[in-house]
A and B are shown apart, each in its own frame.
Chain A
Amino acid sequence: METTMTEVQTEWKRLCALDEIPMLGSRVVTGTPHGDIAVFRTSDNDVFAIHDKCPHKGGPLSQGIVHGRSVTCPLHSWKVRLEDGNVEAPDVGCTRSFAAKVENGTVFLQL
C-alpha cells in the first residue's frame, strides 16, 4: 500500500458503533498516547473528539452537558466548543481537538 509518513501518523482508527455513544452524550477513550479523549455525539449525529481535560482546572469534559456544538464543563461551567476545543467567551483557553468521523454507523478517530 502506498502511504506517506504523515498518513501513517494520522491513521483513522475504528472506535465503536455510533449507537454506543448516547445522543447529546459522550464516551471516554483511555490509553491513547494523548491521554484521555472525550468523544461526543451531537443531536444531528456528528461526532467530535477533544482532550478530556478542561482548560480551566482540568475538569472531565466528557461528563458535561452537550448542547448545540458545545459542552459545558461539569466543574465550573466553562463552555468548550467541540469542533476546535476553544473556550467560549468571556473565558479564554483551548483544549486539544482530534479528528473524528462516522462512516456507515461506525465511529473513527484519527490519532
Chain B
Amino acid sequence: MRKLKLVMVGNGMAGVRTLEELLKIAPDMYEITVFGAEPHPNYNRILLSPVLAGEMTLQDIILNDHQWYADNNIELVLNNKIVKIDRKGRKVFAADGSEREYDRLLLATGSNPFILPVPGKDLPGVIAYRDVADTDEMIDAAAKHKHAVVVGAGLLGLEAANGLALRGMDVTVVHIGDWIMERQLDKPAADMLQKSLEKKGLKFLLPKFTAELIAGESGRVAAVKFKDGEQIPADLVVMAAGIRPNTTLAESAGIHCDRGISVNDTMQTYDPRIYAVGECANHRGIAYGLVAPLFEQAKVCANHLAMYGIGSYKGSVTSTKLKVTGIDVFSAGDFSGGEGTEDIVLNDPGAGVYKRVVLKNDKLVGAVMYGDTKDGAWYFQMLKDGQDVSEIRDHLLFGNSHLGDTGHKGNNLASSMPDSAEVCGCNGVCKGTIVKTIQEQGLFTLEDVRKHTKASSSCGSCTGLVEQILASTIGGAYQPADSHNKPVCGCTDRSHGEVRKAIRDNKLLSVQQAIDFLEWQTPNGCASCRPALNYYCISTWPHEATDDAQSRFINERAHANIQKDGTYSVVPRMWGGLTTPNELRAIADAAEKYKVPTVKVTGGQRIDLLGVKKEDLPLIWHDLGEAGMVSGHAYGKSIRTVKTCVGAEHCRFGTQLSMSLGVKLEKMLFGMYSPHKVKLAVSGCPRNCAEAGIKDVGIIGVDSGYEIHVAGNGGIKTDVAQFFTKAKTEEEVMEISGAFLQLYREEGYYLERTVHYVDRVGLDHVKKLVLDDAANRKALYERLLFALQDYEDPWKEHAQKPELRRAFEPLSV
C-alpha cells in the first residue's frame, strides 16, 4: 500500500506531540514532512523563561533533536514558512518556492503575540516574548542597556520581567488592569504576589495605559509615554499583552476561522483533510494558551489520523502556576464568583498565605492560592473530576495533607525545600534531581517523572510533593491525569471503567480474550494491565473465567511474599488471630526444619516465617497443611486478616463475641480476591482494641448490636473508616459486610483500596445499593458467596498437583 502523505505546518510543541502520538500507534501509515518557520528543531517553549533567567541554555530545552526526525523518517524543513495552501490540488507552497503534496494536512501554527497598536511599536528595541530569537534579543539587551519596560502583567509578562531583573536590568511592569494577572488571580492574591515581586526589585505601574513609544537619538526606543502624560525611560520594551491564534495561512485558504481555526471534537477543520491543533485552533469557542490542553488535543488528533475512530476531545480545564523561583501562586477554574457560588477563604497576610476556593452546587469550580499551594493538585483533581465536596467542606481549606505523612521528614512544601532534600524516601531521589530531569528530559506528566526518576513510583506517599515540583517547574503545562478516565496503562487508551464494562457486557473470559477484544496495542499487555485484566475477568465471571497464573504478580503466583533478596515469606492463616498449641508446634517444627532465619508476629495477628527458599515453599506448605493450616494470603490483592480483640469471651468490658464473629467473617471471606488487599477487624466494645476504625470493614460491638464502619485504611496515609450502619445480629453483620465487599469487588478499579473506591463513587451510592435496597443487598451477598464457594486452599492444591509444584522446582542441564 502506498503510504499517505502528511504535511505539518508549524514545528512547535503541539504539532510535534501529535506526531509522537501518531508514531506510537501507526508508525508506518504516513510519509511525514514538517515545515517550521523557526530555525530550530522542536524545543520546550515554556522553558524559555528559565533560559532568559539564566538558569538554562537553548541546548537544554530541545525536545526533539535532528536525530529524532531522521530516526522517524520525517522530512524536516526549517527556516521556511508555508505561505499558501491549494486545497483543490492538495498542495502547500513554501516561502522559498518549494511545494509538497498532502493527503492530510496538520496546521500547528501557534499564536502571534499581540502588539499594542501605538505609535513607535516598530522601533528597534521593541519586541514580543515568544521564541528563541526574542529571548536572545532580551539577553543581548540586558547586557547593554539599563531600563526595561514590560507591557502586560500576565504570566508571560511577569516571567519576562523576572528574567530581565535577574539579568541586572531595572524593570517596570505596566498593566491596564486594576491588579496583576487579573485573569488568573483575584485581588488579594495578586496584591500579595505584587508585594513579593517588588521585594525582588520589580516596579509596577497600574492601572496604566501605554500611549506611545518614543525613539531616542540612536533611533532605538528610549521612553514609554502613558495616556496620563507620565513618561518613563525604556531601552527595551517587551510586549506581553496577550496572544492571538495564528490563523493567517488558514484564512487565506478559505478555512473557517473565528478567533482561531475552528475545529470539531476530532480536531478537524471545516476541510476534513485538514486538522489543526495547538494554540492556533479554536475548539468549542476556546483557543487554549497552555500546553496541557494541547497535548490532549494532540492525542485525539493522532488517534483520528491513525484512523482509529476512538477518542474525541471535549475541552480542558486549565490551571496556572507562575514559574518564578521562590514564589508560589496557583489558580484553576472559574473563581470570578457569580450566581449560585459560595466562597471559602483563608487569609493570613502575616504568614503570607491566602487561599480561596469557590463552590457551586457542592462542587469545586475554582481555586486561587498564594504562599501555600501544596494542595493545588488536589483541588485541581477534584475540580476536573466534578467531585461532590459537601462532606469534606469544613476542612477543605486545610488540605488533604496527603503529603509528607511518612517517609520525607514531614516536608510538605516543595518550594521551601533545598535541592538536596530527599523527596522520595523509597528510592532516595532528591528535589534537585527531579527538577533537573524534568527540564532536561522535557517531562510533562507524573508518569514521566516516575519513569525517569523513580520518584513517587513505589509507595506513592511523595506524589503530592512531586506534583508540586512538576507544577512549579513547567507551570500550567502540568495537567494531572483525569483520575476517572485515565488509561489503564501504556498498552491501551481505555480506562479501567471502560474495560470493566466491556468484560461484563461481552462476557470476556480470559486475559487474552480481553486483550484481543479491546484491541490492546501490545501482544500480551504488560505487568500493569495483565493483573488488572485477570482480576476483572475472574471477579466478573467467577467459576467461568480462566485465572491466568502468568498474569498474576509473583506473590500471588508463588502464594508467598517475595522479599528483597528473592526469598519468600510464609504466613499461615490464623482465623481471627486465634491459634492452638498444635499449630504453634507445627510452625516451630517447620521453622527449624527449613532453617527459617526470621520468625515474626505480624501486624495482622499471625506469624510470619521469613526467608524461605522458593524450592522449599511446597514442602513447608505441606508440613503446615498436615497440621490443618491454610494459606494466609498475606501476599495477595485479597482478604488478608480479620483482626479481633478478646471480646466478651474473656474481657470484662466486652459486649459482643468479637473473636467468634471474626472467625466467622474470615471463614466466609476465605479466598476472596479483590481490587486491592482487604482487612477487617472486630472489636467487642467501643474501646476498640482491634483498631477497627482503620480497616476496610471494621465492626464494633455495642450493647444493642454492632456498628459497621467501612473504607478505613491504616497504610501510607491513615484514613479513618466512615460509619456505615448499625446491625442487630451476627447474620446481619455478615450480610452487610459481604454485600459491601462484593460491590467493591464489582465496581472497584484494580489497585484501588476501599477508601479510594468510596471516595470516587461516594458513600451515598454505596449506601443506596447496600443499605436502602434490601433485595440488591441480598443479591450482592449471594454473588459473593457463589464466587467463593468451593475455593480450594492454594497450599493444598500445590501439595496435590505436581504440575503446579513444577514452577517451584529448578532445572539443571
A: residues with CB less than 8 A from B are 13-16, 20, 22-25, 27-32, 36, 39, 43, 57-60, 63-68, 72, 74-77, 79, 90, 109, 111
Q: Which residues of A contact B454 (CB under 8 A)?
A: 76
Q: Is the interface of A mostly helix, strand, loop or mixed?
A: loop
Complex: how many Å from CA A59 to CA B565? 7
Stretch touching chain A among B37-45, B86-94, B518-526: B518-526
Question: Can you offer 28 A-B residue contacts whose CB atoms are under 8 A?
Answer: A20-B806, A22-B807, A24-B551, A25-B807, A27-B810, A29-B811, A29-B812, A29-B813, A30-B810, A31-B812, A36-B810, A60-B562, A60-B566, A63-B566, A64-B527, A65-B526, A65-B527, A65-B553, A67-B523, A67-B525, A67-B526, A68-B523, A74-B562, A75-B564, A76-B454, A76-B457, A76-B458, A79-B527
Does chain A have a CB within 8 A of B57? Answer: no
The residue in B523, B525, B557, B811 that gathers the most chain A C-beta atoms within 10 A of its C-beta is: B811
Complex: how many Å from CA A29 to CA B811? 5
Q: Do residues B554 and A72 form an inter-chain contact, with CB atoms below 8 A?
A: no
Which residues between 411 and 429 of chain B lie within 8 Å of chain A, taking CB atoms? 427
Q: Do residues A67 and B522 form an inter-chain contact, with CB atoms below 8 A?
A: yes
Q: Do residues A90 and B451 form an inter-chain contact, with CB atoms below 8 A?
A: yes
In the complex, the chain A residue whose C-beta lies closest to that of B564 is A75
Q: How far is the CB of A5 from chain B (nearest CB, A)?
A: 20
Complex: how many Å from CA A78 to CA B526? 12
In the complex, the chain B residue whose C-beta lies closest to that of A77 is B527
Q: Do residues B813 and A25 form an inter-chain contact, with CB atoms below 8 A?
A: no
Does chain A have a CB within 8 A of B549? Answer: yes
Q: Which residues of B contact A30 (CB under 8 A)?
A: 810-812
Complex: how many Å from CA A15 to CA B524? 26
Q: Do residues B566 and A23 form an inter-chain contact, with CB atoms below 8 A?
A: no
Q: Which residues of A contact B523 (CB under 8 A)?
A: 43, 67-68
Q: Do residues A67 and B530 form an inter-chain contact, with CB atoms below 8 A?
A: yes
Number of cross-chain contacts by CB at 8 Å: 90
- B contact residues, total (Cβ < 8 Å): 31
Q: Which residues of A contact B458 (CB under 8 A)?
A: 76
Contact of A43 among B524, B549, B557, B812 (CB under 8 A): B524
In the complex, the chain B residue whose C-beta lies closest to that of A26 is B807
Task: Please give me the 10 A-B residue pairs with the lowest Cβ-Cβ distance, nearest first.
Answer: A72-B527, A65-B527, A63-B554, A30-B810, A24-B550, A60-B566, A13-B813, A74-B554, A90-B452, A67-B524
Q: Which residues of A contact B810 (CB under 8 A)?
A: 27-31, 36
B: residues with CB less than 8 A from A are 427, 441, 451-452, 454, 457-458, 522-527, 530-531, 549-551, 553-554, 557-558, 562, 564, 566, 806-807, 810-813
Q: How far is the CB of A40 from chain B (nearest CB, A)?
A: 11
Q: Which residues of B contact A14 (CB under 8 A)?
A: 813
Q: Which residues of B contact A31 (CB under 8 A)?
A: 810, 812-813
Contact of B811 among A16, A72, A79 (CB under 8 A): A16
Complex: how many Å from CA A72 to CA B813? 25
Q: Which residues of A contact B550 (CB under 8 A)?
A: 22-25, 65-66
Q: Do residues B527 and A67 form an inter-chain contact, with CB atoms below 8 A?
A: yes
Complex: how many Å from CA A90 to CA B442? 13
Q: Do residues A39 and B811 form an inter-chain contact, with CB atoms below 8 A?
A: yes
A15-B811 contact in complex given A23-B550, A63-B558, A76-B458, C-beta closer than 8 Å: yes
Q: How far is the CB of B470 from chain A (nearest CB, A)?
A: 16
Complex: how many Å from CA A27 to CA B806? 9
Q: Which residues of A contact B557 (CB under 8 A)?
A: 63
Complex: how many Å from CA A35 to CA B551? 27
Complex: how many Å from CA A111 to CA B810? 17
Q: Which residues of A contact B531 (CB under 8 A)?
A: 65
A75-B562 contact in complex given A22-B807, A31-B812, C-beta closer than 8 Å: yes
In the complex, the chain B residue whose C-beta lies closest to that of A16 is B811
Complex: how many Å from CA A5 to CA B454? 46
